[in-house]
Chains A and B, each alone.
Chain A
Amino acid sequence: MSFRAPSLAQTLFVVALFVALTLPLFASAYYLQFASKVLITGVLAMGLNLAVGQGGMVSLCHGAFFGVAGYILALATPGYDAAPLLATLPLAVLGSAGLAFLIGCFALRTRGVYFIMVTLAFGEMLFYLFHDSGIAGGSDGAFINARPDILIAGRQWLNLDKPLVFYCVMLALTAAVAGLLAMLVRSPFGHALAAVRDNERRARSLGFPIFRIRLSAFVISGGLAGLAGYFAAAQFGFVAPQMLSWHVSAAALVMVLIGGLRSVTGPLIGALVLTGLEEVLKAEFENWKLIEGLIVILLVIVLPGGLRQLGLLTTWAPRKEVAPASGAGRA
């Protein structure tokens, strides 16, 4: 770090961090819940970015990983009682990761546009599976009547019903995920992944096991999406097949775009911007979809590098030029 005065980007980042940490002091329960929601979608977006930004795999089925974890919680919650968090959380994350493994085995045999479409189709297949079958309520969804908790020796060590507790848990989790991803990106695995993304042919000639590297990244990414989905279900107390729809994946992709593809924590900012934008737009305009659509189009055309292009963001991940798309086009 140099001795220059901190840039605008860095100042904003510190301020945002400060706000996040002190939020419980001045925000009402509603806004604490809103912040939790932002963090949950942030984790989803960060997980997705491992596959998309670092791995160059544009996936439209991450909604499925997100939703499946939620459904696992719903199915594991006994009636009106709380499910044990320590047992169901790993179950849900492993479930999503396992699903990512299965889909990845199929999808990663294809490239480019095919890959995108195959993930889209598999995502939709899972959507219809939950929508049309009798699993947990079909198209109307299912309720989770009590939030998962940690019950050891008769005492409740964690009660997620309080918005404050939920928020703190989410904050800790988000930090952990960001840390994990930052480590991953800097590790040999992360470098190999980037190599495969940037120039597959050369990576192959250098002896990298392309398929395995991609699959690993895809599976981890899916597991993280599952983590987000578990807590989303816990927060809303409700799961519906629409959680698995490709619209969820697409929205997460927009967040990744806003935050910048190469950044680890960028998607978190993207989540904040998009969720906050929707909140404001929905309250003010009847035709909010039109405005949101126009903004997305504008972003794609004018700001493909995300907010970083405006110099508004900084990141703790290794600083890298956003490579021109030619190399990154191949999935």
Chain B
Amino acid sequence: MSLMTFGIQLLNAFQYAMVLFLVASGLTLVFGILGYINLAHGAFYMLGAYLAYWIVAKTGSFALAMIGGTAIAFVLGVILERTLVQRLYGRDHLMQVLLSFGLILVLDDARQILFGKDVHAVAPPSWLGGTIQLTDNLSYSVYRLAISAFCLAVAAAMFWVIARTRIGMMVRAGAENREMTRVLGIGFDRLNRYVFAAGIALAALGGIVIAPISTVFPGMGDGMLILSFVVVVLGGIGSVGGAALGALLVGITDTFGKVFFPSISSILVYLLMAAVLVWRPSGLLGRGEI
């Protein structure tokens, strides 16, 4: 493999990892702060993609799809938390697994009723529609580069919020020691609600952002769900930095695996996870028992 090709594959891996990070970060936050296991995360990713398709079809504006879709997902997250999820804090994880399983079924059919069962394409915003020539016969879509940049920006924003703001401080406290934070009287209910909604919104944002370069189809949530789980387990629950690291590892393993070991490329990621777990049962940057 020439250096140029290697570089391009690395670029592919990085772009793939960035979207993975976006979705997985939401998952790790919900785990780490709320201690809530959300198997429906992939379903929200799918919902985001379908929302993007629908909003762009109705209004023609991708920016509106991004803002509107994320907002709708956030509100949905708040509603779900208030009505359902809230009742399950501190309850058996089994109940949470089952609740999210039920949610997946409901969301799947709701999506079918609202948006139909068809496969769709979404056009990227025209100002990002071009391509950049990389080699004599291969060009790279500008939109893909834009996605990577956007996800990096979101990651930076998240780090800043968590490290430097009051809300971030509460989030960190909650991740560190939930009981103590509650005892100290920090407004936990509202915090939980917004963190959950933010997690959902991040998943949906991932779906919105990826819609122009993927196809919007009914089964898209399942694959992303498992991969984000692997990323979270790799990086450590509750750690956004871990999610970033995990996403990079998964992206590189998957991309280069497809090229060098095509027949077993899909299971390489799990072997990676097993290897990391043997070395560090709580994940690379994890903090231990939840």
Residues of A within 8 A of B (CB): 52, 58, 60, 106, 109-114, 116-118, 120-122, 124-125, 128-129, 131-134, 246, 250, 253-254, 257, 261, 287, 289-290, 292-297, 299-301, 304, 325-326, 328-329, 331
Contact = CB atoms under 8 A, between A and B. Distances in A.
8 cross-chain pairs, A with B, having the tightest CB-CB distances, nearest first: A293-B105, A296-B102, A125-B270, A290-B109, A293-B106, A297-B102, A325-B92, A128-B266
- Which among A134, A325, A331 has the highest number of chain B CB atoms within 10 Å? A325
A253 B37 contact: no
Contacts of A116: 37, 93, 97
B282 interface: yes
Contacts of A304: 91-92, 95
B187 interface: no
B226 A120 contact: yes
Contact of A113 (B87, B265, B278, B290): B290
Nearest to B91: A325
A120 B37 CA distance: 12
A112 B232 contact: no
A113 B35 contact: yes
Interface in B96-121: 97-99, 101-110, 112-113
A114 B270 contact: no
Given A114-B290, A121-B273, A329 B97 contact: no
Given A132-B266, A301-B84, A114 B97 contact: no
A325 B230 CA distance: 27
B99 to A, nearest CB: 5
A117 B43 CA distance: 17
A112 B88 CA distance: 15
Contacts of B230: 121
Given A250-B98, A253-B98, A106 B109 contact: no
Interface in B228-277: 229-230, 232-233, 237, 263-267, 270-271, 273-274, 277
Given A60-B97, A133-B263, A325-B95, A113 B31 contact: yes
Nearest to A125: B270
Given A124-B226, A292-B105, A329-B90, A300 B99 contact: yes
Contacts of B102: 292-297, 299-300
B98 A300 contact: yes
Contact of A297 (B103, B108, B267, B270): B103
A300 B85 CA distance: 11
B168 interface: no
A60 B98 CA distance: 11
A254 B90 CA distance: 20
- Which among B84, B87, B274 has the highest number of chain A CB atoms within 10 Å? B274
Nearest to B233: A117
A109 B276 CA distance: 13
Contacts of A114: 233, 237, 281-283, 290
Given A289-B109, A290-B106, A132 B237 contact: no
B223 to A, nearest CB: 9
Given A110-B277, A117-B233, A293-B107, 7 more contacts: A113-B290, A118-B273, A124-B270, A296-B102, A300-B99, A304-B91, A331-B93
Contacts of B283: 114
A326 B91 CA distance: 6
A331 B99 CA distance: 18
B82 to A, nearest CB: 13
Contacts of A121: 226, 229-230, 233, 270, 273
A106 B278 contact: yes
A296 B98 contact: yes
A112 B289 contact: yes
A266 B113 CA distance: 35
B265 to A, nearest CB: 8
Contact of B93 (A113, A125, A299, A301): A113
